[in-house]
Amino acid sequence: MRIVLVGPPGAGKGTQAAFLAKNLSIPHISTGDLFRANISKQTDLGKLAKSYMDAGNLVPDEVTIAMAKDRMEQSDAVNGFLLDGFPRNVSQAEALDEMLKAESMKLDAVLDLEVPEDEVVKRIAGRRICRNDSAHVFHVTYQAPKAAGVCDTCGGELYQRDDDSEETVRKRLEVYHTQTEPIIDYYKAQGLVVTISALGKVEDVTGKAMAALKGDGEGE
């Protein structure tokens, strides 16, 4: 299957992408991973992307598109892939359509993970990270430490990242609504969108997603 995964920040896209890709035996292609891989390997595209990032500028669509194209042409993606973070806007979606058309391929589904805005803010703004080890992550509501502000694992101080403040989260949601949400309408016009609620346990959301992708669950 060839799937695009969309949803607001805090919808659990990365977690769901990993489970779905494993269940469907297709590679999970994440924009973040693409950038990190190209930059660490110092590919031409990686150097180009880094030059924009170092200058504090957004990486142009054509660079992101070229990275995605290169990754989708690798042997493990021949029989399908799950795209996470790409396309991020309508022009990238159009470029993806052109890429696939050139290879006589098309998308099978666009999985839209729905989460109410207040829940997104609650999920992200409630995160607390350990200063000693960023892998130690807690949540004031869903996974509270035994002692407030103290890591259960190593006793380090727990803090809220600047990226996780409510103000920043709401700004990120604005960007999502403005730039990324329009691709849902773009794909709805092609009859590709399957919408599921991303509320509930991780495994329950995965189950709903798998059922919807097979055409026997909830969705549009």
In this model, does residue 219 exceed pLDDT 70?
no
Question: Model pTM greater than 0.95?
Answer: no
Catalytic residue set: 13, 88, 127, 161, 172
Q: Which domains does the chain have, with CATH numbers?
A: 2-115+171-213 (3.40.50.300)
Q: How many residues does the chain have?
A: 220
Q: pLDDT by residue (tens digit) across 76-118?
A: 999 999 999 999 999 999 999 999 999 999 999 999 999 999 9
Q: Please say whether the beta carbons of 59 and 53 come within 8 A.
A: yes
**Cα–Cα distances in angstroms (integers) from residue 151 to residues 26, 133, 135, 144, in the given order:** 36, 9, 11, 10
* Cβ count within 10 A of residue 127: 20
Instruction: Give 19-28 pLDDT, tens digit per residue.
Output: 999 999 999 9
Q: Alpha-carbon dihedral of residues 134, 135, 140, 145, nearest 10 degrees? A: -110
11 burial level (CB within 10 Å; 0-12, 13-18, 19+):
buried
Ranges of H-type helices in the chain: 13-24, 31-40, 44-54, 61-72, 90-102, 117-125, 166-175, 182-188, 202-213
